């Protein structure tokens, strides 16, 4: 089972742990006493007045003049966060940190030591309260999105390990499923699909015919038929790229040929590691050592060399009028995510699915014959 561990009203809770006199008062962290800035964290007492994180401080004070606004102490928050993750690490080595106050923990393999997920969750709650003086809400399920939904409905200071998962997730918004972002969510909404139950009103064949692999994946997740999530203790890389300093400086046309090779290499590395990226960055260095960078964010993450090259080539085109030569080119892809499916519009996904088969074949040949260079940019 995967546990989603989420500290309650983290910044405010830290301030209350430091100064118990603040407990049971209406408090918030952020902004300042003059009402400038925004609220970063609100106590549950403040939330009863409608005060939320992101609200302008002057609005919060207007709603509740008795509100006590505390200046943030990020050094303390960092210290409490570190100690919280140390507590989690004492219960399992498989932890995926999501933010300063939130993490997933995989209980698999630890049942023999703690006699089951519930004992682990209860131990985490007790240790967090004893050592930090703050509360943590925990939800548990076989998938991350189920665990997170369980913790969300259990706040504050709750514990819910979902047993009948299919019944629990039936009325969840489909956008609660991991990897169903805004773009995919809009596609589903246009089809009248808003909840997990709506997904299951059609069979797997329908979803595969309509949305290809992504549709089949969605059905599998909704029906709890896909493989369990894993917690990544090793975070995804922030970026992945390659650069090349030329043996001799090149004119634009020759440099463009090298750009194609760089994009091909970056794409192969992404596909090899099962990753995709949304932002493409181009680095250009002139023969006088002037270095310039440009970036472009795509509408969907990709691992295809052709998409990467099209983005990089569009940025490189602005240098076509440069009279000198080029000393270095670099291509980096960032906004990295795992390659679960092609997140794009329906027409693009259909074309991408065909193209992906070509890349799969080329990558297999490349792996078998490393000395052979096949740079497909379709």
Taking Cα atoms as reference points, which of 90, 44, 37, 84 lies closest to residue 61?
A: 37
Contact predicate 157/180, CB 8 Å:
no
Residues 6+ apart with CB under 8 A from 185: 174, 175
pLDDT at residue number 35: 52
Contacts of 59 (CB under 8 A, 6+ apart): none
3-state secondary structure the chain: CEEEEEECCHHHHHHHHHCHHHCCCCEEEECCCCCCCEEEEECHHHHCCCCCCCCEHHHHHHHCCCCEEECCCHHHHHHHHHHHHHHHHCCCCCEEEEECCEEEEECCCCHHHHCCHHHHHHHHHHHHHHHHCCCEEEEEECCHHHHHHHHHHHCCCCEEECCCHHHHHCCCEHHHCCCCCHHHHHHHHHCCCCEHHHHCCCCHHHHHHHHHHHHHHHHHHHCCCCCCCCCCCCCCCCEEEEEEEEEEEECHHHHHHHHHHHHHHHHHHHHHCCEEEEEEEEEEEECCCCEEEEEEEEEEEECCHHHHHHHHHHHHHHHCCCCCCEEEEEEEEEEEEECCCCCCCHHHHHHHHHHHHHHHHHHHHHHHCCCCCCCCCC
- The residues pairing with 30 across neighbouring beta strands, listed in sequence order, are 39
Cα 162–168–169 angle (5° rounding)?
A: 115
- Alpha carbons 99 and 7: distance in angstroms, whole number: 10
Confidence (pLDDT) at 292: 93
Say how far apart CA 148 and CA 134 lie, in whole Å: 19
Its CATH architecture, for the domain 167-222, is Orthogonal Bundle (1.10)
Mean pLDDT, the chain cut into blocks of 10 residues (378 residues total):
93 94 90 68 92 87 91 89 92 85 87 82 95 95 88 91 89 82 85 92 90 86 70 68 90 93 90 87 92 90 90 93 92 81 50 68 72 62
Number of neighbouring beta carbons within 10 Å of residue 335: 15
pLDDT at 346: 45
- Per-residue exposure over 50-78, b if at least 16 CB sit within 10 Å of its own CB, e if not: ebeeebebeebbeebeebbbbebeeeebe
Alpha-carbon distance 230 to 92, whole Å? 13
* pLDDT for residue 153: 87
CATH level 3 topology of 2-7+75-164: Alpha-Beta Plaits (3.30.70)
Beta bridge partner(s), residue 137: 6
pLDDT on residue 286: 93
pLDDT of res. 10: 93
How far is it, in rounded angstroms, from Cα 156 to Cα 75? Answer: 24
pLDDT of 27 reads 94
The C-alpha atoms of residue 302 and residue 181 are separated, in whole angstroms, by 15
Which sequence spans correspond to the domains of the chain? 2-7+75-164, 10-73, 167-222, 239-368
List, by residue number, the catalytic residues.
102
Q: Please check whether the two domains, 2-7+75-164 and 167-222, share a CATH topology.
A: no
Q: What is the distance between the alpha carbons of residues 276 and 279, in angstroms, rounded to a whole number? A: 10
Q: Which CATH class is domain 10-73?
A: alpha beta
Q: Which fold has domain 239-368?
A: Dna Ligase; domain 1 (3.30.1490)
């Amino acid at each position: 089972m995967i546990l989603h561990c989420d500290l309650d009203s983290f910044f405010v809770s830290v301030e209350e742990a430091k100064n118990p006199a603040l407990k049971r008062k209406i408090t918030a962290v952020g902004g300042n006493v003059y009402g400038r800035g925004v609220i970063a964290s609100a106590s549950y007492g403040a939330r009863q007045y409608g005060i939320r994180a992101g609200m302008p401080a002057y609005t919060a004070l207007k709603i509740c003049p008795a509100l006590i606004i505390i200046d943030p102490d990020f050094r303390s928050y960092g210290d409490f966060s570190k100690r919280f993750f140390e507590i989690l690490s004492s219960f399992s080595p498989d932890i995926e940190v999501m933010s300063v106050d939130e993490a997933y923990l995989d209980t698999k393999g630890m049942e023999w030591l703690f006699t089951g997920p519930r004992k682990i969750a209860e131990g985490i709650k007790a240790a967090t309260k004893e050592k930090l003086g703050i509360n943590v809400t925990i939800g548990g399920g076989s998938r991350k999105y189920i665990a997170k939904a369980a913790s969300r409905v259990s706040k504050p200071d709750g514990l819910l390990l979902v047993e009948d998962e299919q019944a629990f997730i039936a009325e969840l918004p489909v956008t609660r499923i991991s990897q169903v972002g805004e773009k995919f969510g809009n596609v589903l909404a246009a089809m009248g699909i808003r909840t997990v139950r709506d997904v299951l009103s059609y069979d797997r064949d329908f979803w595969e015919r309509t949305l290809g692999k992504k549709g089949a994946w969605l059905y599998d997740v909704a029906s709890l038929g896909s493989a369990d999530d894993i917690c990544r203790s090793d975070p995804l890389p922030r970026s992945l790229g390659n650069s090349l300093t030329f043996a001799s400086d090149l004119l634009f046309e020759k440099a463009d040929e090298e750009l194609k090779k760089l994009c091909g290499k970056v794409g192969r590395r992404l596909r090899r590691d099962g990753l995709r990226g949304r932002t493409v960055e181009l680095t250009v260095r002139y023969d006088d050592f002037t270095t310039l960078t440009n970036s472009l964010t795509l509408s969907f993450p990709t691992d295809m060399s052709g998409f990467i090259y099209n983005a990089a080539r569009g940025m490189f085109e602005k240098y076509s009028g440069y009279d000198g030569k080029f000393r270095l080119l670099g291509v980096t892809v960032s906004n990295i995510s795992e390659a679960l499916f092609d997140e794009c519009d329906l027409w693009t996904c259909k074309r991408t699915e065909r193209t992906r088969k070509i890349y799969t074949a080329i990558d297999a040949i490349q792996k078998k014959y490393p000395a052979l260079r096949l740079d497909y940019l379709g």
